[in-house]
Chains A and B, each alone.
Chain A
Amino acid sequence: MSLSPEQVRQVAQLARLQLAPEQTEHYARQLSNILEMVDALSRVDTEGVAPMAHPLDMVQRLRPDVVSETDQRAAMQSIAPKVADGVYLVPRVIE
């Protein structure tokens, strides 16, 4: 499996990554090499094998639905690049 520079641009768009135009060809070559290595998996017989998402057979723990955390908005927003009046600021989304 190899990726073309155009496919790299599409994947970068999905991942919301701005690539410099001169990077795409380089990335296409490297990502293709990685996918070629990964292709070994396609030759493995996995008929009847259950996918393993996680090493431990665990069930999600539940806790009582009660408030356990205090309001930390000020602390959390103190490290944000741009806030005002308790909200995060981004470029205008709605005209």
Chain B
Amino acid sequence: MHTLSISELAEGLRARRFSSRELTQHYLDRIAAHDRALNSYVTITAEQALLQADAADAALAADNAGPLTGIPLAQKDIFCTQGVRTTCGSKMLATFVAPYNATLVDKLQAAAPQGAGMVMLGKANMDEFAMGSSNETSFYGPVKNPWDLERVPGGSSGGSVAAVAAGLAPVATATDTGGSIRQPASLTNLTGIKPTYGRVSRYGMIAFASSLDQAGVVARSAADAAYVLQAMSGFDPRDSTSVDRPVDDYVGALNSPIKGLKIGLPKEYFAEGLDAGSRGLIEAAIKQFESLGASVQEISLPSSPLSVPTYYVVAPAEASSNLARFDGVRYGHRAEGAKTLEELYKRSRGEGFGAEVQRRIMIGTYVLSHGYYDAYYLKAQKVRRLIYEDFKRAFEKVDLVLGPTATGAAFKLGSKTDNPVEMYLNDIYTIAANLAGIPAMSLPCGFVDGLPVGMQLMGNFFDEARMLNVAHQYQQATDFHKQFPQGFK
């Protein structure tokens, strides 16, 4: 059952070939058997999942079901779930049980027709407060890559991708502030999409950098991703940056022909720094797109080398402000025995946050502090506009931009943890889309030495339907995305 697509699972449930309870139990059994090796879940919600599955089976029997009703999923542990703890990968929130659900959780898990009626298997591990590119900053331990247990799954959505890649969930939610959906999808042979900023509600999604954060999905195909993105997107009055605009028909657009599609190849994304094996696979994929009727042309995104420096001002600045809420008073970790209020704040935060989070809070505090604001923060916001304008110009000429997602395949655990700057450069190809706010996705394009490699598609604002369509057409002509890691079959 764990190799079936979302539409096959939906069909199986409707034809009564298996019940949601059987399907859910199958995944719970696989989690029990395999997750010790991967550490992809922080919390497993077996009892609640089976209750949700029974409700889904009743809805299916009564014909009150939507296309996703009864299908299990993993929720990244950044989304608040009422009654189930939400850790955000941090000691700070080790015992935090949110008093409400994130809008995305309600949309995916409430019974149809208000929600999609999906079944939550558990909460997926992640880098602490989504700060990391390897899932090694989690307080709950690193996640392993199902393709090679000595390698990282990428981050920050490392638990989400490891669970889906190993067949411990059919699909998972994820978030992306600088590449946290796309880079891990690339490293684990998945299809992951970060939609346009504002497309999916951020209400109840623990904030990292509010002008960059966006929720999305990791799945085993573009079609699977389309089904779930369809259900989670849409306007939410509770998120002040949610966009009030109808959601396109992602599923309905999957089978449109892509003849005449214009693809831009940014020369800066194919310069030095890209691993040779990955480059070869992406070049082969470009040929495949041409044979499907697309035309390609070289374009330039001249400011793209500035995206990492810009990001490491903007994101820490916003993070230092967002994470000021963790004070040891209202919720979260509280230091024992503090004598003064200031000592309570300082010790609760010193004990509750890990090193990467502390580094980013300090960078953010520094760049926002008196005397440095103009040189760093304001300057970064100006460069951010240059990066945005690069894309604006590009989309006057082409429909989509194609390039690598990561500089290479998955790296070894521990190999980059001592050097933050080297770790940050993992996101060199993914950060620009967050700064510009445009949608971007990663999809599998082959293997180097048995390790998966992804390529990235970036689209114009709200062009998710076309991106998923193009990815789906590529996946109809290739079978990279169907490969499954040995040892988890």
Interface residues of chain A, those whose CB is within 8 Å of chain B, are 3, 7-8, 11-12, 14-20, 27, 30-31, 33-35, 37-42, 44, 46, 49-56, 58, 60-61, 63, 72, 75-76, 78-82, 88, 90-91, 93
Contacts and interface: CB of A to CB of B under 8 A. Distances in A.
B233 to A, nearest CB: 15
Interface stretch (B128-136, B378-386, B399-407): B378-386
Interface string B456-485: 000001000000000000000000000000
B334 interface: yes
Among A3, A8, A53, the one with the most B-chain Cβ atoms within 10 Å of its Cβ is A53
A20 to B, nearest CB: 8
Contacts of A60: 240
Contacts of A31: 359, 362-363, 366
A14 to B, nearest CB: 5
A37 B198 contact: no
B359 A16 contact: no
Nearest to B339: A91
Contact of B346 (A16, A46, A54, A88): A16
13 contacts: A15-B320, A16-B346, A18-B349, A38-B312, A39-B309, A49-B383, A50-B382, A51-B382, A52-B382, A55-B438, A56-B437, A80-B329, A82-B334
Contacts of A61: 237, 240
Interface in B282-334: 305-306, 308-310, 312-313, 320, 324, 327-334
B365 A14 contact: yes
Contacts of A58: 198, 241, 243
B359 A56 contact: no
A53 B258 CA distance: 35
A54 B243 CA distance: 13
B22 to A, nearest CB: 35
B346 A51 contact: no
Nearest to B242: A61
Contacts of A75: 99
Given A33-B420, A52-B384, A55-B197, A15 B365 contact: yes
B191 to A, nearest CB: 23
Contacts of A63: 237
B240 to A, nearest CB: 6
Contact of A27 (B339, B341, B358): B358
Interface string B335-346: 000111111111
Contacts of A11: 362, 365-366, 369
Nearest to A89: B329
A14 B359 CA distance: 13
A50 to B, nearest CB: 6
A39 B313 CA distance: 10
- The interface residues of chain A, by DSSP majority, are classed as loop
A81 B362 contact: no
Given A58-B241, A80-B331, A41 B350 contact: no
Interface in B97-148: 97-99
Interface in B63-79: none
B421 A52 contact: no
B359 A34 contact: yes
A41 B438 CA distance: 22
A80 B364 CA distance: 27
A88 to B, nearest CB: 5
B211 interface: yes
Among B99, B333, B461, the one with the most A-chain Cβ atoms within 10 Å of its Cβ is B99
B329 to A, nearest CB: 5
B208 interface: no
Nearest to B329: A88
A81 B306 contact: no
A37 B385 CA distance: 19
Contacts of A50: 382, 385
Nearest to A53: B381
Contacts of B333: 81
Contacts of A17: 346, 349-350, 353, 358, 361-362
B370 to A, nearest CB: 10
B381 A41 contact: no
Closest 7 A/B residue pairs (Cβ) = A55-B437, A18-B350, A51-B381, A81-B334, A46-B382, A52-B385, A18-B346
A90 B313 contact: no
B99 A34 contact: no
A16 B383 contact: no
A41 B383 contact: yes
A53 to B, nearest CB: 6
Contact of A72 (B99, B378, B435): B99
